[in-house]
Amino acid sequence: MKASGQTIVLQRLTGAGAGPYSVKARIVGADPSDVVGAVQQLRRKAIVSAEDVESTGFPVPFLPKQDRLIWNGKTLVIIAVDDATRRLQGVLVAYELELAGA
């Protein structure tokens, strides 16, 4: 992921550890050019290295609907966190973050 990911910023809006925290991630999902008609919010997914998150000091666990991800100048809301899918022999390798926003 470090070689192929993009730098994104994780933000906690309130409380201890507000951030920002820069990490590498891979963003997948809807592209505005792929959507026909009126769309109010696009859904994307970010795959973020657990090691990167830990090394920055970001205060895990993630707080869905309170934490933000900034990518390509867009602020996206983290609406769900999957920390089960990307494990190897029980060890967390990456988080899958479901994102909402423009």
pLDDT in tens, 30-74: 655 545 555 555 789 999 999 999 999 999 999 999 999 999 999
CATH class, 6-101 region: mainly beta
Task: Supply 45's token pair.
Answer: 């997914």
pTM, entire model: 0.84
Please give the pLDDT value at position 43: 84
Confidence of residue 9 (pLDDT cuts 50, 70, 90): very high
Q: Average pLDDT over the chain, rounded to whole?
A: 87
Which residues contact residue 36 at a Cβ distance below 8 angstroms, ignoring those fewer than 6 apart? none
97 contacts 80 by C-beta, under 8 angstroms: yes
Domain ranges of the chain: 6-101
Confidence of residue 15 (pLDDT cuts 50, 70, 90): confident
